[in-house]
């Protein structure tokens, strides 16, 4: 066994269960993004891997060794903190060299590694400065540099880009990704930003209330959300989630949404999902798979156009439907006006069907 392995890790603060039996593995050269809303337990999970938090229950293996009860300094992990945690009284080069002293490197080795890092992260010019003299972007680079200067068991990043502005964030995202891919060490990145998770992670673990809701490759999580929470959490604008009733199970499954009826084809149409007539289900559709129709009909949802939001190349429509608001993205907004009636069709195969308990029905479409 190698990389990182968590076995049913649990953390309780008094009565509050912050992390609830989380289990996952991170392979040697893999980047896992822990994604979730604030307070979901992702940072606590990261701190337990680092050894900064004592796990209430469960086991943590790093590089195949049981490290559950070792203190942080005995685990040989590198971590970049949300607020960078640069040592304010040390210069940038001393900051970068700090972890090397613990590894007992010689002065010459340290100097050589410093040169390498400074070059990789393009920060030769700031080496003699103190943290308070750095810009946000430079601080971030130093924090990353201090992580990657050694060969730890794993890399941990806590909200690494949250304090940067949009442009810098994009730049650092690709930089970090590039650097990490050259290091082939197991990496865990905590983030609440799905774009960050999608772009940087080899896999994403979506967390809520201390539990992992789904774990998988970014595209897989996006295409096949395991449940309503993941479906609603991933993707902007949010996936449409509307309640309906199963109104037909012969041949194809039909779902009534208000006065409209959607017949599902493809894999979802196959029997064997255990659905009965009259079951309450939730249908999910990505706004981008919508197209406009001129009149209502089978497979078409009709409602009143509430709001037209131009977003540059595309236009977001908010449609009042008896079953709830429906968002649709279209490229052409000719002839649309607020208050008018609108008919939209979502592409067959773009529908996701969820049980009343929130779990998705069926696999791939």
Q: Using CB under 8 A as the criterion, which residues of the chain lie in contact with other proteins when the complex forms?
A: 13, 47, 50-54, 69-79, 81-89, 98-99, 101-103, 146
Q: Helix, strand, coil proportions of the chain in percent (round to 5)?
A: 30, 35, 35
d(Cα 129, Cα 154) in Å, to the nearest integer?
A: 28
155 or 222: CB nearest other proteins: 155
24 or 98: CB nearest other proteins: 98
149 or 204: CB nearest other proteins: 149
Least distance in Å: CB of 194 to other proteins? 24
Least distance in Å: CB of 84 to other proteins? 8
Q: How many CB atoms lie within 10 A of CB 329?
A: 18
103 or 338: CB nearest other proteins: 103
Cα Dmax for the chain? 77
Residue closest to 233 by CA, chosen among 252, 247, 212, 253: 212
Least distance in Å: CB of 73 to other proteins? 5
Least distance in Å: CB of 76 to other proteins? 8
Q: How far is CA 124 from CA 28, 84, 116, 129, 149, in A?
A: 30, 19, 10, 10, 15
d(Cα 209, Cα 364) in Å, to the nearest integer?
A: 27
**Tokens (6 digits) for 232:** 């609603």
Least distance in Å: CB of 105 to other proteins? 11
Contact of 61 with 7, CB cutoff 8 Å: yes
79 or 205: CB nearest other proteins: 79
Least distance in Å: CB of 30 to other proteins? 20
68 or 302: CB nearest other proteins: 68
Least distance in Å: CB of 311 to other proteins? 31
69 or 115: CB nearest other proteins: 69
d(Cα 222, Cα 363) in Å, to the nearest integer?
A: 13
150 or 211: CB nearest other proteins: 150
149 or 262: CB nearest other proteins: 149
Contact of 232 with 239, CB cutoff 8 Å: yes
Least distance in Å: CB of 161 to other proteins? 16
Least distance in Å: CB of 114 to other proteins? 15
88 or 182: CB nearest other proteins: 88
Which residues in 192-227 are b (16+ Cβ under 10 Å) and which e?
bbbebbbebbbbbbbbbebebbbbbebeebbbbbbb
Question: DSSP letter at 359?
Answer: B
Q: How far is CA 266 from CA 230, 252, 296, 352, in A?
A: 23, 9, 22, 12
d(Cα 22, Cα 17) in Å, to the nearest integer?
A: 12
Least distance in Å: CB of 62 to other proteins? 12
Contact of 330 with 305, CB cutoff 8 Å: no
d(Cα 362, Cα 351) in Å, to the nearest integer?
A: 11
Contact of 1 with 64, CB cutoff 8 Å: yes
DSSP string of 217-233, one letter each residue: -HHHHHHS-SBHHHHHH
């Amino acid at each position: 066994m190698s990389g990182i392995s968590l076995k049913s890790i649990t953390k309780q603060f008094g009565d509050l269960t912050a992390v609830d039996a989380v289990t996952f593995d991170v392979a040697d050269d893999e980047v896992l993004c822990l994604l979730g809303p604030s307070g979901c337990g992702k940072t606590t999970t990261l701190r337990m891997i680092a050894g900064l938090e004592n796990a209430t229950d469960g086991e943590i293996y790093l590089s195949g060794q049981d490290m559950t009860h070792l203190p942080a300094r005995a685990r040989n992990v590198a971590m970049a903190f949300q607020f960078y945690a640069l040592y304010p009284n040390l210069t940038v080069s001393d900051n970068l060299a700090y972890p090397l002293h613990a590894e007992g490197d010689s002065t010459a080795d340290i100097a050589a590694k410093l040169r390498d890092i400074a070059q990789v992260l393009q920060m030769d010019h700031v080496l003699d400065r103190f943290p308070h003299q750095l810009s946000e972007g430079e601080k971030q680079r130093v924090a990353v540099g201090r992580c990657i200067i050694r060969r730890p068991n794993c890399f941990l990043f806590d909200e690494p880009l949250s304090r940067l502005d949009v442009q810098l964030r994009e730049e650092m995202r690709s930089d970090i990704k590039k650097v990490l891919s050259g290091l082939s060490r197991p990496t865990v990145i905590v983030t609440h930003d799905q774009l960050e998770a999608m772009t940087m992670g080899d896999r994403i673990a979506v967390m809520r209330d201390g539990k992992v809701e789904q774990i998988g490759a970014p595209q897989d999580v996006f295409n096949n959300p395991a449940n309503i929470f993941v479906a609603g959490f991933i993707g902007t604008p949010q996936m449409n989630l509307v309640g309906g009733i199963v109104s037909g199970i012969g041949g194809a499954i039909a779902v009534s949404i208000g006065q409209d009826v959607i017949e599902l084809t493809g894999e979802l149409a196959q029997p064997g999902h255990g659905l009965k007539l009259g079951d309450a289900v939730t249908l999910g559709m990505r706004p981008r798979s919508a197209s406009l129709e001129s009149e209502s009909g089978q497979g078409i949802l009709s409602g009143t156009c509430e709001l037209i939001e131009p977003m540059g190349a595309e236009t977001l429509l908010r449609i009042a439907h008896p079953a709830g608001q429906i968002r649709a993205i279209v490229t052409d907004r000719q002839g649309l006006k607020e208050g008018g009636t609108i008919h939209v069709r979502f592409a067959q195969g773009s529908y996701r069907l969820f049980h009343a308990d929130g779990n998705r029905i069926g696999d791939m479409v």
